Amino acid sequence: MQKGFWGLLSSPIIGLSPMDGVTDASMRFVAKKYGQPDIIYTEFVSAEGLWRIKKRGDLEHKIWNELKYSESERPVIAQIFGSDPESFYEAAKICVELGFDGIDINMGCPSPGLEKRGGGAGLIRDKCNAREVIEATRRGAGDLPVSVKTRIGSEAPDPEWWKLLAEMKLPAVAMHGRSFKQLYSGEADWEILLQAAEVIRASGAKFLGNGDVKEVKVATKQELKIVTKSGREIDLTGKMDGVLIGREALGNPWVLRKDNYVPTVEEKLRVAVEQAKKYQELFNENYDELHYQFFPMRKHLACFARGFEGSVGLRKKLMTADNAEEVEIMVEEFLEENQTLI
């Protein structure tokens, strides 16, 4: 078992969950700076696409933007997806060249098209190929640790799937508490996650739960308690090594902290400006050439502008911003007009 940085992390581990089209380099930079998560994953990237694009020498392809990262993010993990073992082998070698601390295989994406082709959550169905993908990725990764992020099962919770993952002697497994069939409906099942954790941790792997985490209530060396979006408080002490937080970290990197820090409205909005500037800095070649390319940043701005007096009006304005300079002007005007919120 190649543990790498995983062996140096102490529990509980709080990480930023990878989210396609969301956890870009600017979002991760801000998440690390203000949320201080123990681990960070990139957005998922196609193993086959990465290999093909590198082979033809296309250094301008947008796929490289998805693998940008800041040194401050470390340990930072490249997440790759697909179904072809050879592509994983080649993609893993590229991730090594790019200087990542680890590689994670996406075995949980619920995209129906991807699943049908055997990638993402489709690997849960094809356990033989899942095993080959893990082994191929390890060969390409060399000394880098290879982990897996997945779901509790395909059609339903699948203990045989958990056993296979345990047999693979992975350094870590992150698991979402829904099956593929559920997509994102219903609630994440933390009782099932606790059962899976018992199986996988017995192999020596770290286990991270994921799904509907709204708050880390307690995170010390002795305790780990979370609150879900439905308001349930769950004690994970001694039963899991940590959790990954996804959507709740949008516009709220502080949710990743272990000290329950709550930012002021002014702090939130100034960090929104900082993220907009970072986005523009990192992707300025697209921004300068194609005006609409600032558009992906707007979903993040919308999340920062929520939950306080006047946030609806500010959010509407921010949804028209075409660059970081406009965002800063809108925020400064709002703060000037709402001194009581500062």
pLDDT tens for each residue of 71-106: 999 999 999 999 999 999 999 999 999 999 999 999
Average pLDDT over residues 163-180: 97
Its domain, for residue 318, covers 265-341
Residues 155 and 290 reside in one and the same domain: no
Q: Is the pLDDT of residue 319 over 50?
A: yes
Q: Which helix (H) or strand (E) holds 268?
A: helix 265-282
Give yes or no for residue 298 having a pLDDT over 70. yes
CATH of the domain at 126: 3.20.20.70
139, 229: one domain = yes
Radius of gyration of the chain (CA): 20
pTM of the model: 0.95
Give the domain-ending residue among 256, 273, 305: 256
pLDDT reading at 1 higher than 80: no
Q: Which two tokens stand for residue 248?
A: 């709740």
Last residue of a domain, one of 256, 286, 311: 256
Give the chain's mean pLDDT: 94
Number of domains in the chain: 2
| 204 plus 320 within the same structural domain | no
pLDDT at 184: 82
**Other C-beta atoms lying within 10 Å of the C-beta of residue 184:** 11
129 phi and psi angles, rounded to 5 deg: -70, -35
pLDDT of residue 204: 96
The percent of residues above 70 in pLDDT, for the chain, comes to 97
**Rounded distance between C-alpha atoms, residue 137 and residue 172, angstroms:** 15
202 and 273 together in one domain:
no
Least confident of 109-113, 197-201, 273-277, 326-330: 109-113
Last residue of a domain, one of 227, 256, 285: 256
